[in-house]
Amino acid sequence: MNRSALRLGLWLLLTPLLLWLVLLILLPHIDMLMISLRQRTGPGEYAFSLNNYLAFFEEPLYWRTFARTAIMSLLATVLTLLIAFPVSYYIAKLLRGRAKSLLFLMCLIPFWVSELVRTYGWMILLRESGLVSGFLQWTGLADGPVEMLYNDAAVMVGLVYTAMLFMVVPLITTLDSLDDAQIEAGYDLGGNGWNVLWEVVVPHAMPGIVSGCIVVFMLTLGNYLTPVLIGGKDSLWFTEQIYTQFITRFNWEQGSAFGILLLFLSSFMVWAGLKLSRQSFTRVMS
Amino acid sequence: MIPSIPQSSLFRNTYRAYVLLFFLFLAAPLVVVAVFAFNDSLFPSLPWGGWTLDWFFNDSEPKLGIFYDSELLESIGISLFVALFVTAFSLALATSNAFLFERQAFAGKNLLYVLMLTPLVIPGVILGVSILIFGSSVANGVENQTGYDIELLRPGLPLVITGQFAFITTICTLILAARLRKFDGSLEEAAMNLGATRMQAIRTVTIPYLRPALIGAGVVSFLMSFENFNTTLMLVGSDAPLTIAMFDRLREGSTPVLNAVSLLLMIASATLALLSIAVQRREA
């Protein structure tokens, strides 16, 4: 095959990729950035302005919601990791053969169902006339109906539940590749369970932990359904603000500024996570 | 903490109980949704009103079953339509991408690979909003210049398909590239030694080898599209796909007909998932 045919082949494969990335990812985000940096001065007239960003810092509701969303997302990520790690370890290291693949599959099943259905399930469980409340009354732990929906704890349960898969799968994958002999060696060298966990298991699982945390944090930050459906009046989420600006108020300039801020926060967290753990983006993501 | 290292039975049992509790936590909301699809009451909550199939088969208000609820049925049709297009487009582009990244060497490959992964770390709401803005910018520009309004770029199904395609393609690319990486290149060379052209070799040897991954990626993208909410929410016009229609109902406070839809969804996704696993097992 000659050189020009090779080049042609390369361009045939490269063009669709570039069209996709430029038209659907790069340009839309650049456009969003441009719109966030302008202000309407008259019908169809716009001027450069930082007002949309100033409004974010001046209006306590906006930046408080932003900070709240970030902190709750971090907390949800940590909780998901803590809950998922022992389970992943159990499946990857303590089970063999059929039981192992079965339990792994069982971890995945809930996530073949729409997020909406899962959130709906939690609503049925936690609402005043729901199952948990009914159970508490039946056991006599509560005298009357208990409302467990519409508060931050309920939101947290929903967020952790929704994100679980994205933590469990990378954890099981990396833990599975850890050779039992290394753990045994850790014990042979005089370590106890705790030493082995911290000095053998966790360092080996680091790529899985990082990729799990990044994906979970990002999904939680960008979640819309759970805070809207399960959260109370005060459980505002930043994505709700974005939705309100775009769809309800039709203030695209302000909405774009919010979008850029959220994107900035999520990119920063991804970057910080990779730096702290010294992992590379391509390795963690694929 | 591996089977060959002895642990106290207290530790082992606590650990086992924890794992059991975890699976209860995973199963609880789904079981509850499924069971309440059969509750003979207007609300998906206690008290239990007895078993009924009305939420599937009853044909009149107030207990309108899913098979007679034209609004929800129509939204299922819309979701299927969107999912089919998204799957077809994503698979086509992902196949091309997989060949590009696995078979070609060119300047800037690493940069493009990172760029290709970015849709995974862009929150769905933002991706949706940015495509909404860009679509409108282009449409407005064209309208100002030529006076022609491009319906396609205004909120509606074409934009929903575009938005979902934008990130599902990345996932399909990863699945297909992983499979292509394991392909033994000498098989293709053998085909070419036997007189096949390069295209023929790819069509008759490489693509059949990719088949399990193509089916797997197809199922994943179909389900992801069908279940997508965040990106869709921002781009949807007057035709609401199922997740959006269910969301609207849920906010109004709905009857257990939503449980019935959810149960059907669970059965359908589980079937698809098992089917794809079976295919992978057989062909891998």
What's residue B132's pLDDT?
92
Q: Does domain A52-285 have CATH number 1.10.3660.10?
A: no
Average pLDDT along chain B: 85
Instruction: Please state the length of chain B.
Output: 284
pLDDT tens per residue, range B59-101: 767 777 677 777 888 899 999 999 999 999 999 999 999 988 8
Q: Cα–Cα distance between B157 and B238 in angstroms, integer?
A: 9
Q: Which residues pair with A129 in a beta bridge?
A: none
**Does residue B34 sit within a domain?**
no
| ipTM (interface predicted TM) | 0.85
pLDDT tens per residue, range A110-134: 777 888 888 888 888 888 777 777 7
**Does residue B18 sit within a domain?**
no
Q: Which residue has the higher pLDDT, B74 or A187?
A: B74
**Does residue B177 sit within a domain?**
yes
Query: Which positions in chain B touch A120 (Cβ < 8 Å)?
Result: 29, 33, 246, 250, 258-259, 262
CB contact under 8 A, A161 and B116: no
CATH classification of the domain holding B239: 1.10.3720.10
CB nearest to A282's CB, from B113, B133, B250: B113
Closest by Cα among A59, A34, A39, A35 to A49? A39
- Sequence spans of domains, chain A: 1-36, 52-285
Chain B contact for A83 (CB, 8 A cutoff): yes
Query: Which positions in chain A touch B29 (Cβ < 8 Å)?
Result: 110, 118, 120-122, 124-125, 161
Domain that holds residue B186: 73-253
Chain A contact for B172 (CB, 8 A cutoff): no
Q: Cα–Cα distance between B230 and B128 in angstroms, integer?
A: 7
Q: Which residue has the higher pLDDT, B68 or B227?
A: B227
Look at residue A135 and give its three-state secondary structure: helix
Lookup: tokens for B206: 């490489």
- The distance of B29 to chain A (nearest Cα, Å) reads 4
Stretch B154-182: mean pLDDT: 90
Stretch B10-28: mean pLDDT: 89
Lowest-pLDDT choice from A37-51, A259-273, B50-64 = B50-64
Ramachandran assignment for A163, one of left (phi > 0), alpha (psi -120 to 50 degrees), beta (any other): alpha
What's residue A280's pLDDT?
72
Give the count of domains, chain B: 1
The top-scoring range by mean pLDDT among A106-110, A151-155, B195-199 is A151-155
Lowest-pLDDT choice from B108-122, B142-156, B160-174 = B142-156
Checking if the pLDDT of B9 tops 60, the result is yes
Chain A contact for B42 (CB, 8 A cutoff): no
pTM surpassing 0.90? no
CB of A159 within 8 A of CB of A226?
A: yes
Closest by Cα among B19, B51, B18, B58 to B37? B51
Lookup: tokens for A83: 């809950």
What's residue B160's pLDDT?
92
Chain B, window 222-251: residues with a beta carbon less than 8 angstroms from a chain A beta carbon: 223, 226-227, 229-230, 233-234, 243, 246-247, 250-251
pLDDT tens per residue, range B242-263: 999 989 888 877 778 888 888 8
pLDDT tens per residue, range B198-220: 888 888 888 888 888 898 899 88
**Does residue B49 sit within a domain?**
no
pLDDT tens per residue, range A231-247: 877 778 888 888 888 88
CB nearest to A21's CB, from B29, B46, B115: B115
What's residue A275's pLDDT?
82
**Does residue B190 sit within a domain?**
yes
